[in-house]
């Protein structure tokens, strides 16, 4: 009997001690906010378009003009190599055909970063891709991400 009381007592103590706590945090910084065209910096928008297009046109021309430190962050510069682009382009040309152009779908703001969402247009009808160009507060492209197109903009933006 004493053992049963002891076990029940220890169980209760552990349950109370392991109770999870509610953590409140300000999630306003994590939320994406769609920006109207009038709020978008035209120079930044042109830069995002030109750099995104430069990457995808590499698939058509097989020539890539490397980025410089006034256009992109060091991380993007290091990750955007001719070898990696060639590998991606081979797959893209096989499945989607030749790249045609980018069509801006929307601009979003998240934690001081602007996200330009483009619908990438290709010659094959099965191609349904999007390109996201992330521009940081220093007006440098901090990420370029290609993914399958989804009408609904997903909050999972950088992975």
Each residue's pLDDT tens digit, 55-113 = 999 889 888 888 999 999 999 999 988 888 888 888 999 999 999 999 999 999 988 89
Chosen CATH of 40-148 out of 3.90.25, 1.10.510, 3.10.450, 3.40.1350? 3.10.450
Is residue 130 within 8 Å of 149, Cβ to Cβ?
A: yes
Helix (H) or strand (E) holding 43: helix 42-61
Q: What is the pLDDT of residue 120?
A: 95
CA distance 15 to 10: 9
Is residue 139 within 8 Å of 51, Cβ to Cβ?
A: no
Mean pLDDT for the chain overall: 82
Q: What would the two tokens of residue 85 be? A: 């682009």
- Percentage of the chain modeled with pLDDT above 70: 77
Q: What is the pLDDT of residue 112?
A: 84
Q: What would the two tokens of residue 48 be? A: 């995002």
* DSSP code string of 106-131: EEEEETTEEEEEEEEEESSTT--EEE
CA distance 119 to 137: 24
pLDDT band at 19 (very low <50, low <70, confident <90, very high): very low
Is residue 116 within 8 Å of 49, Cβ to Cβ?
A: yes
Give the torsion through C-alpha atoms of 103, 104, 105, 111, to 10 deg. 150
- 145 φ, ψ to 5°? -130, 130
Sort strands 129-135 and 113-122 into parallel, antiparallel or unpaired: antiparallel
> Is 23 or 134 the better-scoring residue by pLDDT?
134
Q: What is the pLDDT of residue 30?
A: 53
Domain ranges of the chain: 40-148
Q: What is the pLDDT of residue 154?
A: 67
Q: What is the pLDDT of residue 3?
A: 56
């Amino acid at each position: 009997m004493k053992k049963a009381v002891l076990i029940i007592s220890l169980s209760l103590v552990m349950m109370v001690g392991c109770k999870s706590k509610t953590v409140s945090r300000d999630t306003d910084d994590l939320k994406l906010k769609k920006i109207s065209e009038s709020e978008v910096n035209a120079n930044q928008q042109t830069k995002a378009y030109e750099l995104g297009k430069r990457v995808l046109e590499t698939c058509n021309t097989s020539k890539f003009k490397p980025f410089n430190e006034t256009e992109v962050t060091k991380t993007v510069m290091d990750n955007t190599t001719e070898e990696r682009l060639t590998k991606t382009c081979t797959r893209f040309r096989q499945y989607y055909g030749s790249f045609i152009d980018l069509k801006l779908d929307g601009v979003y703001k998240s934690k001081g970063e602007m996200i330009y969402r483009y619908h990438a247009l290709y010659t094959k009808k099965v191609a349904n891709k999007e390109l996201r160009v992330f521009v940081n507060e220093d007006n440098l492209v901090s990420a370029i991400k290609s993914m399958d197109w989804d009408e609904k903009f997903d909050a999972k933006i950088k992975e």
